[in-house]
């Protein structure tokens, strides 16, 4: 997949008030130009949750703890999380 950075976005999704309820998602804007529809995702059957995320254009989804670990290991930059996740997704073959 040859997807330029400008065709992606970082969307932070919260399903609750706890840190583990917060997810950082790299979104394919060709599929979801306005980002993922959170209300629709909230209604998704938990058994189909991953599928619904993929169908909504989610390329990569990480928890806040995973983001902090990647920052600690200097694999991503706190000041440019979107660009860093994009580069990581390219390195890992997701994009």
CA angle 44, 49, 53 (to 5 degrees): 100
- Average pLDDT rounded to a whole number, residues 72-79: 95
The more confidently predicted of residues 30 and 54 is: 30
Most confident stretch, 39-43, 52-56, 75-79: 75-79
User: Each residue of 22-31: pLDDT tens digit?
Assistant: 899 999 999 9
Percent of the chain with pLDDT over 90: 60
């Amino acid at each position: 997949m040859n997807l330029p950075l400008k065709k992606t976005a970082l969307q932070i999704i919260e399903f609750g008030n706890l840190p583990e309820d917060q997810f950082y998602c790299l979104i394919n804007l060709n599929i979801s130009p306005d980002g993922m529809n959170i209300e629709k995702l909230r209604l998704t059957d938990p058994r189909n949750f991953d599928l619904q995320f993929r169908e909504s254009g989610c390329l990569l989804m990480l928890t806040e703890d995973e983001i902090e670990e990647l920052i600690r290991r200097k694999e991503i930059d706190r000041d440019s999380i979107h660009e860093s996740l994009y580069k990581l997704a390219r390195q890992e073959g997701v994009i």
